[in-house]
Structure 1
Amino acid sequence: MTDSPYVDAYLGALAAMTRLGKPRDLNALAAAQAELLDADIAIEDELLRRHLETAGLNDSLRSELLTTTAKWDNAPEPDWAEGTTPNTPARREVITRLLKFGDETAALFNEKCSIAGVPKPTVIAQEWAPWYTDDIRKRRTYYWRNYEEYLATRKGWSPEARASLDIATDRVVERLADPTQPESYKAKGLVAGYVQSGKTANFTGVVAKAIDVGYRLVIVLTGTTDILRAQTQRRLDMELVGRENILGGADEDDPVATHGLDYQDDRDWIERRFLEHGISPRLAGRPNIHRLTTQRGDYKSLSQGIIALDFPRRDEGKPIYDPDNLFTTDARLAVVKKNSRVLDKLVVDLKRSAARMEDLPVLLVDDESDQASVNTSNPKKWKEDRKERTAINRLIAQLLSMLPRAQYVGYTATPFANVFVDPSDAEDIFPNDFLISLPRTPGYMGPEDFHDLDSTIPDDALDYANSNRKAHVRFLPDEMPADHSDLRAAMDTFVLAGAIKLYREATGDETFRHHTMLVHEHAHTIVHREQADRIRKVWEESGYYTSTAHERLRTLFEDDVLPVMHARSDGRPVPSDYARLAPHIGEVLARVGSSGNPVLVVNSDKIEGENLDFDRQAVWRILVGGNKLARGFTVEGLTVSYYRRQTKQGATLMQMGRWFGYRKGYRDLVRLYITDDMYEAFEAVCLDEKYFRDQLDRYAELVDGKPQITPAQVPPLVAQHLPGLRPDAPNKMYNAKLTERRSPGFGVEPTAYPVKGELLAANVETFAPLFAAANGDIHTFKTPANRDFQARVGIVSHGVMLRTLEDLIWGDGDNFAPDLAWLRRLNSGDIHDWAVIFPQLGIRNPSRLLIGSGPFSLHHRDRRRPPYFGALSDPKHRAAADCIAGVPQVVDDEQARTLLRPRRGALLVYPVIERDPSGHQDGEADIRQVVMTFRVTAPTTADRLNRPFVTFVTKNSLRATDAIVDK
């Protein structure tokens, strides 16, 4: 069935149900829609089933039905759901019953539109008074509905992705203040996404919904560069503001009326790819959006600021926030670079209109909120290119203070600067009200896609299919080769990847407008020009039109590119041999060198060579850059990254990860050329971020309807495992102190151990009872990769275990104290004994006696920064320990099951050496060089009370909501 009236009737029925907010008889509503369309068509359950049987993935009816159902599947507690749990067969049964599907149609529908579950955000928030009701969502959804439709029809977003965005933006908007309430309240929150993961889409959706519900001045603060501000402005204009608002009533066919319009020469504007509302929103009873900035122009002082920022009231006797005035008033939008001179102009104009601003609901969105917005009172912390942070922070604070109804929402991919905010920020942009961690969305290629985090597969079994590192990462020598062979290899991969994109265009339905390579070696702009000259020389000397170069490309294709494609192409066209690819090589070279210059320098000062405008032109280039390309700016078509820059700041590392993002149609072609040291540094930061988000997920669950933690309690919680994240000012401290952390069934791995030899020796001696207990037979366990590993195992009582842990000396006293406090509270009804497991390595690894017991394998680990290690336990060993503690496992490990007992915990123990193991001769180990590290998993049955996993005390109860207070 492909008749358009038939599909339109069902789409109209689904739109009606969306407005109702609940499932109803779909066929009956579709029949009513058909009458409105004057369509003489049959609407029957059997015909709908036949349509779904043949519908492809891009079928509009199937797509919209899936989107609508996904929202119903995920709805928390709708009144129509009969108490069913989200994303369960029971919830789906209610939905299909209310849709009045027959049994066969329901079965087919569930097969075509499976209950996959939409990724949801994690929310840490204060308690708040709900106001963003289903009724408001249904009645005030003009800009959001048009934006969501644009994502579906113009950008090809899947139903799951749209439903996930809808849910995530709801979580933000519902925690802003009700714009119509008489009392003013200034909510402050932080939204943590991933680098290049769609944060702009999220805040665009938040802005759309905020304007729908009554926010009438929206200020979007972008990064510190013009190129990023222009990119953000265009994105909002194209996907949210729309043609009608941009034209402002002007006839777009009248060259005089549209003179100076910022998109007149824009390809997407000319080809009508900008969102269209159909009519002026004001004519539809909705607010128009007036832009205070344009793509080409940042905020400028308004010659008539009072008029431009005037918000007329229908009833002068009532405040602006009164619904009679608010919903008859247009909205203003300003997209402003974080530059003190620009922001100062905005502050001055708002001061001139201060009398009218008191009652105005304002939304302040701070993109890249960890850049420039966070204040610092210590200039030693900041690099030269961050010298204006304090000025920007002061101006943001001024904006918030002069706008009593302003709501602040920061967006970042590196949340630590905001969560562990400097003490002086405690009263301005700390996210006191909410902290929201966005989920990874389908199709996103993030940090873990370049690492084998928690992999249980032995190194000798890794291949392109099961190892992200082998598939996507190519390691560079520490020193740059004199012949630049490493850079040439990256360029060769870039050329081959471009040819494969063209091959896929010719043999499939993918199109690739952009194809880029990024070279990132240095932060300083003065070095970039020298790098560009070197890259141009290597490009010229590569001889891509010669037979020698073709043989080099053929070898790279056959040895590297083709095997990865076979493992990871995901059904996309793959050329069977180099001969099928060779005809496209010339087109790649022509596009990259079309301007006579294959290299563009993009630094903090300017773009050298030609404009870099992904919106107005196709870009096939090698880009050389630093900070401008390392923060917020999206490098379209990025396929190959050559990375040598050194930095010690974790947030800087993550932001420089431009290779993260959406790589539709060429994910298998993505390569990262990087040094071992930098790769390990990235992995460490990835693990930190993963731990942070896992913590938030765990503690976000409500207990008795109340939050376990608030944003003010997040810093001391996470600081237990992330070194160096403490208030720096000597007269400041965190107000919340973590006193107890319960973890039944969760592995806990302290990381802060002493450095001095005598303290290490004391810890080894403390472990003597555990050595003695595990001094017997060797046990063989299974790994998730179905490999065996051997371990010494002993059983000790809870009392013996507790005394051992209590007597240990720590490199950071707070590192394990909250976990130990909980273990002390467990009695014989919670836990009886512990299995102590010492994993043993192969015969080529050091194995020594420890104070007469053993021998035990010594494991090599490096400290990330004294006294802290990174990950200590081996992922291959965790399944056995967790199984013994009662955690359900996929692996059927008979040996682990024989050790499973009620009320038994498990302790994985790793005697660690940090130096060259060759110094450890046979016999007794030098215990002054052995660090006793471990991972503890309490039994799942321990502490069965329904109470929060964490307990805090407030040091200053009079300022309980402040994250940081005076000592």
Structure 2
Amino acid sequence: MATVRVVGTEPLLPHWTDRMGPESWPHWGRLQATLRANPRWKPHQIESVTSESLRVLRHLRDPLRPAPFQGRGLVVGYVQSGKTANYTAVAARAVDAGYRIVIVLSGIHDSLRTQTQLRLERELVGSQAGIGGTDGPGREWGLLTTATEDFRECDPGVLQSDAAFLVVAKKNVSVLARLDRWLEAAQPFLSDRAVLLIDDEADQASINTRGNRASDPAVCEDEEDDGPPPSRTNELIRSILGRIPKASYVAYTATPFANLLVNPAAADREVGDDLFPRDFVVQLPRPDGYTGTEELFGASAQGRDVLRPVPDDDVRALRPARRRKSAEVVLQAEQGALPGSLREAILAFCVAGGVRSLRPSLDGQPHTMLVHVSQRIEDQERIADAIREQVELWREADRQGQRLEPLFQEAWEAFRASVDAPADDAAVVRASIAVMRRLVILVLNSVTGEDLEYEEKPGRHIVAVGGNRLSRGLTLEGLTVSYFLRTTAMCDTLLQMARWYGYRSGYEDLIRIWTTDGIARWFSELALVEQSMRDSIVALGRAGRRPDQMAIRLRGHSSLLLTARNKSSMAVARQDSWSGEHPQTVLLPLSDPGRLQANRALADGFLASLPAALPCHGGLLLRDVAPEAVCDFLRAYWVHEEVVAFRSDLLADWIAERAAAGELTDWSVFVASPGEAPRQASIGGLRVGLARRSRVSSESIGILTDPRHEGVDLPDGPDAYRRAGGSYDADAMRGARPPTQGLLIVYPLDPEPLGVTSTDAVIALALSLPNTSDSATKWIVNSGVSDG
């Protein structure tokens, strides 16, 4: 058999998958052909699914090995980024390798389960239905669930067939209980059948939020010493796994904070080990063309016209104080009138739809607007009714012959600045009015039963008003405009509620988000939290360690919990060093002229006191700077009051400590000076171009640092640290930095795009720090796992 070459960080060692030759993949081959026939799938995307599904498969247990075995793993993707495509491919490959039953636990809502069932039937099973098919013995499928019916108990003797079996079950206690009973009855047929259990949205419902019963009840002196049973969904998943002699459990999620904080040693005497991913954690690569936190709120958001502020009055009108019981949502004094910002958002959605209809590749495709204000069903109904009333007013005016062109022309003028616009403005206005006439307003919650029906009713322009049903897994096709006021205390919940993530090929310029300043600031910091987590997962793989051998570090958020407290009992917060880190001023005191002016004068005096500057890599480099000078500068620098990741006084103290220990003794200062900058300033006698950044909230600029700047003082410069695709690997630059060598990066920012008039340059800072001998940024770690 030919040896399989795996793309990834794992070493190419002998492995059980090496027995699989080119002819050994009939199910995967059929799926691959299906993807190739779909024009929405590009060759490089299919190549990525090919390599990444094989990488995950290599982490699973060999299905042909003798029983018993129990595998536990975790695959981390991005919100709405192709996790389903990956686990569909993994399932196909697993069946080819010898797994005979695939169980997919698909969220907690019927809509997501149905969506997943239909997709797996189409892509994994193909045209078959029930048991049988034309692929030959051992290559057919048995479907134990359908698009209209969740799992029901059937004769377990069906497992005597050579078919591979598929179950797509909702994470509902009654459904899981039926599946558990059926597997108990099926014991005579399971001894040689390996089962792959895929847990989609695995941080939802699957996490144990209660306790575990003592392994030996005899040691308990009284009943109170015996712990409580696990939470019911978690208990049933563990019970299901315990009934299967040969099982591999793979959790999938984009927000794995709770999964990584499960007690690795937790066990219950009746249902066994908890679901901690002790065997592996795999981070899927960032997909090409993906729009996520980074693109909307981080460094990549610079220059994008995405965010629109929702005034406080509008927030109060739509989401008043909790103490109000009789009217949780007030739609202003004029009965049925929408707050101005929501009215603007709906007009913008019509304009976005009009522009889409004039782009041949998008005309007739689904188009959606998200309105997510409250989790309360009665609130959603009121908001949807008010939207319908407003739309009906426009339609009635249109029917009576009133000219709506000025209204939509104004909306188009507000929209068009950053849009790849058609030459004919009148055509856009006409198309926008046509969209308004066709708007469909749907309420998506557990009561209405309404559905998006993208496949059954293509080409609709849908305003989707909802709450929790819009918060997990459910894909909003063609999403352009979001109106989002929903608050939460947890990072994972906030990320999952942001349904504006995903692929926006052909209409990236049409994305608009109406939200509050505070929520935008949360997301800006979330860009750092997410990237830190993903970097830590990659570092685990590079170190060749399992998740139960080395803790994955999670950066803390200044305002939010990473996950609910009852999901994170093993979490321990630590503030250690900034070793190997790149702290930066993502929050700036933009509304405080005094601090901005003080920082401007500080930079002027600091740079004037340093050695001569040499131009390089889009800026000026000043070498041989004493650590004491850097520390004095940092201590005098005014930071934003709410900043967490860049506490300049604490950073200065830490640098002084490391310098006393013989580290961080050799400093360089780099002043960013883009040659193409339209504006310049003289700082410390240096003529520099002003870098341009824009606000993502009132005082946040997203990610500040240009990755190449972290290598300007290294011997071979930043170009020695380019990745295959041309991007710069700043993490590798910090890894190559000697422990003695630190870099302070000064970014003089153009005040004009920041809306600042009190100074000619806003001074922002970043540091590129080597790995030092100490090893503390606020980190959250699993206290049950060694720090490695």
TM-score of the superposed pair, with normalisation by structure 1 = 0.59
- Structure 2 residue aligned with 1:795: 626
How many angstroms apart in 2 are the aligned matches of 1:192 and 1:173? 14
1:536-588 CA distance string (max 9 Å, x none): 12222345736553112123323423x3223xxxxxxx421222234434542
Cα offset, 1:936, TM superposition:
5.1
Cα offset, 1:131, TM superposition:
0.8
How many angstroms apart in 1 are the aligned matches of 2:257 and 2:40? 33
- Structure 1 residue aligned with 2:476: 635
How many angstroms apart in 2 are the aligned matches of 1:623 and 1:428? 37
Matched, 1:564 2:418: yes
Answer whether contact 2:104 2:200 (CA < 8 A) is retained. yes
2:447 to 595, 605, 611: 605
Aligned pairs (5 A) from 1:392-791: 392-421=233-262, 427-453=273-299, 467-468=303-304, 470=305, 472-480=306-314, 482=332, 484-504=339-359, 508-542=360-394, 545=398, 548-561=403-416, 563-566=417-420, 574-585=421-432, 587-592=434-439, 598-608=440-450, 611-618=451-458, 619-702=460-543, 707=544, 709-713=545-549, 715=551, 717-718=553-554, 743=580, 747=582, 776=609
Q: Which amino acid counterpart does residue 450 of structure 1 have in structure 2?
A: L
How many angstroms apart in 2 are the aligned matches of 1:577 and 1:726? 49
How many angstroms apart in 2 are the aligned matches of 1:627 and 1:180? 41
Matched, 1:937 2:769: yes
Cα offset, 1:873, TM superposition:
9.1
1:504-544 CA distance string (max 9 Å, x none): 2xxx3544331221111001112111111111122223457
Matched, 1:883 2:712: yes
Where do 5+ consecutive residues of structure 2 fail to align?
Answer: 212-228, 268-272, 318-331, 333-337, 587-602, 636-642, 674-682, 684-696, 721-736, 747-763, 777-781
How many angstroms apart in 2 are the aligned matches of 1:404 and 1:363? 12
1:207 to 91, 115, 130: 91
Matched, 1:246 2:100: no
Alpha-carbon distance change, 499 to 747 in structure 1, aligned in 2, over 3 angstroms: closer
Aligned pairs (5 A) from 1:827-906: 833-835=666-668, 874-875=704-705, 882-884=711-713, 888-889=717-718, 905-906=741-742
- Structure 1 residue aligned with 2:17: 132
Answer whether contact 1:451 1:683 (CA < 8 A) is retained. yes
1:621-643 CA distance string (max 9 Å, x none): 21111000111011122221111
Matched, 1:295 2:180: no
Matched, 1:363 2:196: yes
Answer whether contact 1:419 1:714 (CA < 8 A) is retained. no
Cα offset, 1:735, TM superposition:
11
Higher gyration radius (CA): 1
Q: Which amino acid counterpart does residue 370 of structure 1 have in structure 2?
A: D
Answer whether contact 1:443 1:664 (CA < 8 A) is retained. yes
- Structure 1 residue aligned with 2:76: 192
SS of corresponding position for 1:156 = coil
Answer whether contact 1:741 1:822 (CA < 8 A) is retained. no
Alpha-carbon distance change, 783 to 236 in structure 1, aligned in 2, over 3 angstroms: farther
Cα offset, 1:293, TM superposition:
0.3
1:338 to 148, 162, 171: 171
How many angstroms apart in 2 are the aligned matches of 1:835 and 1:402? 61
Answer whether contact 2:621 2:669 (CA < 8 A) is retained. no
More helix by share: 1
- Structure 2 residue aligned with 1:349: 182
Aligned pairs (5 A) from 1:16-27: none
Cα offset, 1:488, TM superposition:
1.6
1:894-931 CA distance string (max 9 Å, x none): xxxxxxx9985225499xxxxxxxxxxxxxxxxxxxxx
Q: Which amino acid counterpart does residue 626 of structure 2 have in structure 1?
A: I
Aligned pairs (5 A) from 1:300-315: 300-302=152-154, 304=155, 306-308=156-158, 310-311=159-160
Aligned pairs (5 A) from 1:38-437: 75=5, 130-133=15-18, 135-243=19-127, 245-246=128-129, 248=131, 280-281=134-135, 283=136, 285-302=137-154, 304=155, 306-308=156-158, 310-311=159-160, 329-377=162-210, 390-421=231-262, 427-437=273-283
How many angstroms apart in 1 are the aligned matches of 2:660 and 2:610? 30
Q: Which amino acid counterpart does residue 280 of structure 1 have in structure 2?
A: T
How many angstroms apart in 2 are the aligned matches of 1:701 and 1:147? 30
Cα offset, 1:882, TM superposition:
4.7
Alpha-carbon distance change, 735 to 612 in structure 1, aligned in 2, over 3 angstroms: closer
Q: Which amino acid counterpart does residue 612 of structure 1 have in structure 2?
A: L
- Structure 1 residue aligned with 2:639: none
Answer whether contact 2:265 2:784 (CA < 8 A) is retained. no
Answer whether contact 1:832 1:904 (CA < 8 A) is retained. yes
More deviation in 721-730 or 541-550?
Answer: 721-730
Where do 5+ consecutive residues of structure 1 fail to align?
Answer: 1-18, 23-74, 77-119, 250-278, 313-328, 379-387, 456-465, 567-573, 593-597, 752-769, 805-809, 841-846, 848-863, 892-900, 911-931, 944-948, 952-960
Alpha-carbon distance change, 377 to 909 in structure 1, aligned in 2, over 3 angstroms: farther
How many angstroms apart in 2 are the aligned matches of 1:605 and 1:235? 25
Alpha-carbon distance change, 336 to 575 in structure 1, aligned in 2, over 3 angstroms: same
How many angstroms apart in 1 are the aligned matches of 2:564 and 2:415? 48
Alpha carbon RMSD of aligned pairs, Å?
4.9
Cα offset, 1:147, TM superposition:
0.5
Q: Which amino acid counterpart does residue 431 of structure 1 have in structure 2?
A: P
SS of corresponding position for 1:628 = helix
SS of corresponding position for 2:542 = coil
Alpha-carbon distance change, 422 to 733 in structure 1, aligned in 2, over 3 angstroms: closer
Cα offset, 1:747, TM superposition:
3.3
TM-score of the superposed pair, with normalisation by structure 2 = 0.71
How many angstroms apart in 2 are the aligned matches of 1:156 and 1:634? 16
Answer whether contact 1:215 1:363 (CA < 8 A) is retained. yes
Alpha-carbon distance change, 735 to 496 in structure 1, aligned in 2, over 3 angstroms: closer
Alpha-carbon distance change, 789 to 676 in structure 1, aligned in 2, over 3 angstroms: farther
